[in-house]
Amino acid sequence: SLYDQVSNHGMETSMMDSVMTASREFFHLPLEEKKKCSNLIDGKHFQVEGYGNDHVRTQDQRLDWSDRLHLTVEPEGGRNLAHWPTHPKSFRDDLHEYALKCKKIKGDILRAMAKILKLDEDCLVNQFNSNAPTFARFNHFPPCPRPDLVLGIKPHADFPALTVLLMDRDVAGLQYLRDGTWYNVPAACDHTLLINIGLTMEIMINGIFTGPVHRVVTNADKERISVAMFYGVDPDHEIGPIAHLLRDEQPARYRKMKAKDLLVAQLEHFSQDRGAQIADACKI
């Protein structure tokens, strides 16, 4: 898998701190205030975008110990400002500026990856057309009385192509699975950003790099915040291994699938606590 910690990313540390501070201030608002951005329509119908918790699908489903704010950031025309907080006042501008910087980092990483894979430099960048969505997910993990029993986020591989993750500078919690063991990622005290490959990219590059399975553990006395920027492809785009990567001795290992159908499969796996197995389900 490619698990990449970028410390020389060219983003001002002050910008990272501003986004983190704005997120913290938002999550510390009274519930009534946050509910103005709710992900429940009329208080009951779940939609992905907005503020809230897991989508409850079944009675026995295991829920994550977190609340989230999920926003569409790109395409810019697809922003639904009704869900964008107005408190703190700087929130919208901070997110807008941050998204511009992340987009540049995303381009740099995709070009570097294409080079490693001996593809045309823009081959991966070109997988993202003007309809390709970018989502920001703000995660808040409050202190949890029973960290031995409850996870902040269940094991999963990120679904979109690439994730740029801004982590709490003081509190760790993210863990990666490797050969059956969970490994801690330290808190981002030195302003690193963490880059994850997602399932969509794993499929496009035929599993040469894989999307790592990870989870977030809870903490008995400290809250933790993270901000993930997810880069997906156009929902109508058919995802499949890029032809240039295929050889007789290296055939396609994944089925072709529309991005939107893959998303449905992923959501189902996640809510059934099988988030770590989704990649296998896509294999030929």
Ligand X SMILES: O=C(O)CCC(=O)C(=O)O
Given the rule CB under 6 A, which residues bind ligand X?
Answer: 137, 139, 153, 158, 165, 167, 174, 214, 216, 226, 228
CB 47 within 8 A of CB 54: no
* Residue of this chain nearest to ligand X (CB atom): 226
Cα 247 to Cα 261: distance, rounded to the nearest angstrom: 27
Q: Which does 260 bind (CB under 5 to 8 A by kind): Fe ion, ligand X, none?
A: none
Shortest Å, Cβ 248 to ligand X: 37
Q: Which does 99 bind (CB under 5 to 8 A by kind): Fe ion, ligand X, none?
A: none
**Closest to ligand X by CB, 174 or 201:** 174
CB 266 within 8 A of CB 207: no
Shortest Å, Cβ 7 to ligand X: 16
Question: Is residue 54 involved in binding Fe ion (CB under 5 A)?
Answer: no
**Closest to ligand X by CB, 110 or 228:** 228
**Closest to ligand X by CB, 65 or 84:** 65
DSSP 83: G
**Closest to ligand X by CB, 216 or 259:** 216
Cα 143 to Cα 219: distance, rounded to the nearest angstrom: 5
Sheet of 181-184, strand order: 151-156, 214-217, 174-178, 181-184
Shortest Å, Cβ 174 to ligand X: 4
Cα 193 to Cα 174: distance, rounded to the nearest angstrom: 13
Q: Which does 167 bind (CB under 5 to 8 A by kind): ligand X, Fe ion, none?
A: ligand X
Shortest Å, Cβ 113 to Fe ion: 19
Burial class (CB in 10 A: 0-12, 13-18, 19+), 268: middle
Shortest Å, Cβ 162 to ligand X: 12
68's CB contacts (< 8 A; 6+ apart) are 51, 52, 53, 137, 138, 139, 140
Cα separation values, 33 from 16, 29, 48, 85, Å:
24, 6, 19, 9
**Closest to ligand X by CB, 6 or 246:** 6
Q: Which does 139 bind (CB under 5 to 8 A by kind): Fe ion, ligand X, none?
A: ligand X
And the tokens for 143? Answer: 């202190």
Shortest Å, Cβ 249 to ligand X: 34
Shortest Å, Cβ 247 to Fe ion: 31
And the tokens for 74? Answer: 């790109």
Q: Is the peptide bond before 133 cis (omega within 30 degrees of 0)?
A: no
DSSP 4: E
Among 64, 158, 168, 202, binds Fe ion (CB under 5 A): 158
Cα 65 to Cα 174: distance, rounded to the nearest angstrom: 13
Cα 13 to Cα 142: distance, rounded to the nearest angstrom: 25
Q: Interface mask (CB under 5 A) for Fe ion, residues 115-154, using x and -?
A: ----------------------------------------
**Closest to Fe ion by CB, 50 or 211:** 211
**Closest to ligand X by CB, 66 or 206:** 66
Contacting residues toward Fe ion, per CB under 5 A: 158
